[in-house]
Amino acid sequence: MKFAVGMVLIDAPHSALNMLGIDESLPERTVTRVKRLRKGGLSYPYVSPQAWRYWWRKTLSEHFGWTLSPLFREEKQVFTAANPIVFPDDDVFGYMRAFKKGNVNITVTRMSPLKNTPLISLFPDRSSITADEGYASRHEGDPVPYTQEFYSTVLKGAFSLDLDAVGRFTMVDKAGFKNLLNVGEIPKSLSEVKSEYEALISKAKEIKAEISEKELIMPKEIRKKRASETIKALRYIFGGAKQTQYLTDITPKFIIMAMFDGGINPFISDIVYEERGEIKFDSEALISRILEFNDILNPKKLFIGKDKGFMRGWEDELKKVRDSLDKNGIKVVIASVGDAIEKFAKEIEAYYG
């Protein structure tokens, strides 16, 4: 099991990227709230994980030319084509879809190889959120008052990409592992599904995928491309609500990445933290965690990207990380965010050979 994991910081100096909506508990119903997460008696603004994933998927489509899986709606459910052979986002972001007719119901599910946290503010709401009092006055008659919250903070998020799962689909009859159906098990009553799957398997054979009774593995060049572009997209990621009024660059201003032989992510908690209104970087915590998992750090490399204008006082702490880990045989690459992502993506490509 090989995982590419990382942590990002996004500078959001005046933002409302993913709002809760109108606060219906207030009598005037004119206040648009920021989403909040409660922790230790305090509340923190956050961006939902699905919003971050939506931006990520959209960036892969618009910057890397990914053809996204179409969406279908059935009653209260929305699902994709569940065709990871043709649509790379079904491969990387996972899916669940039920094929059904009458009493026959066959469900395929794929656990997403790409996992991510929400983007959570390092500052609590009491020191990051502002309520903007406004008036709509472009119409005839009295102006209409409204209130909209926005925040000034740094958002932290983490991700994990299962490199072995990208481009590898199982047919095991187990929740989360029945990624594809075997053509032979599809009942005659689902003739459309059978035709769909015959086309899917035909396409897989055409691109020379390895097909056995229990799994289908895409050619390594396709797996390499999908995995590396997923990480490269972070360099160009864009999106978010209220950008017309609170324009924000959501590309990471700080990023740490490494590859581990296991599904851990040692960067999630408190390597960076807020203290008395300042954001601190704990170099000792990072060094300690890397050494703690040195046995499964593979290759022995840590990639750190930092924007020059972001947290100018962290340079000495980063050098401390590099010098300390170097003594333990771990190479630390410190570069701009874009260069760090590109170099890390090359390590991912090398993994597939």
Q: Which of 192, 217, 242 is the last residue of a domain?
A: 217
Domain assignment present for residue 54? The answer is no
Q: Are residues 30 and 102 in the same domain?
A: no
Confirm whether 55 is domain-assigned. Answer: no
Which three-class secondary structure string do you get for the chain?
CCEEEEEEEEEEEEECCCEEEECCCCCCCCEEEECEEEECCEEEEEECHHHHHHHHHHHHHHHHCCCCCCEEEECCEEEECCCCCCCHHHHHHCEEEEEEECCEEEEEEECCCEEECCEEECCCHHHCEEEEEEEECCCCCCCEEEEEEEEEEEEEEEEEEECCCCCEEEECCCCCCECCCCHHHCCHHHHHHHHHHHHHHHHHHHCCCEECCCEEECCHHHHHHHHHHHHHHHHHCCCCCCCCCCCCCCCCCEEEEEEECCCCCCCCCCCEEEECCEEEECHHHHHHHHHHCHHHECCCEEEEEECCCCCHHHHHHHHHHHHHHHCCCCEEEEECHHHHHHHHHHHHHHHHC
Q: Which residues of 179-198 are buried (b: 16+ CB within 10 A; e: fewer)?
A: bbbeeeebeeebeebbebbe
**Same domain for 15 and 107:** no
Task: Examine the domain organization and report whether 21 and 99 are in the same domain.
Answer: no
pTM as predicted: 0.94
**184 and 225: one domain?**
no
Pair 74, 179 in one domain: yes
Are residues 103 and 159 located together in one domain of the fold?
no
Say if residue 15 is in the same domain as residue 37: yes
Domain count, the chain: 2
Domain identity same for 236 and 304: yes
Residues spanned by the domain of 130: 2-48+118-165+219-352
pLDDT (tens digit, 0 to 9) for every residue of the chain, 353 residues total?
999 999 999 999 999 999 999 988 887 788 999 999 999 999 999 999 999 999 999 999 999 999 999 999 877 788 999 999 999 999 999 999 988 877 777 899 999 999 999 999 999 999 999 999 888 888 888 888 889 999 999 999 999 999 999 999 999 988 889 999 998 888 888 888 999 999 999 999 999 999 999 999 999 999 999 999 999 999 999 999 999 999 999 999 999 999 999 999 999 988 999 999 999 999 999 999 999 999 999 999 999 999 999 999 999 999 999 999 999 999 999 999 999 999 999 999 999 99
For residues 203 and 290, state if they share a domain. no
325 with 202, same domain: the answer is: no
Residue 288 included in any domain: yes
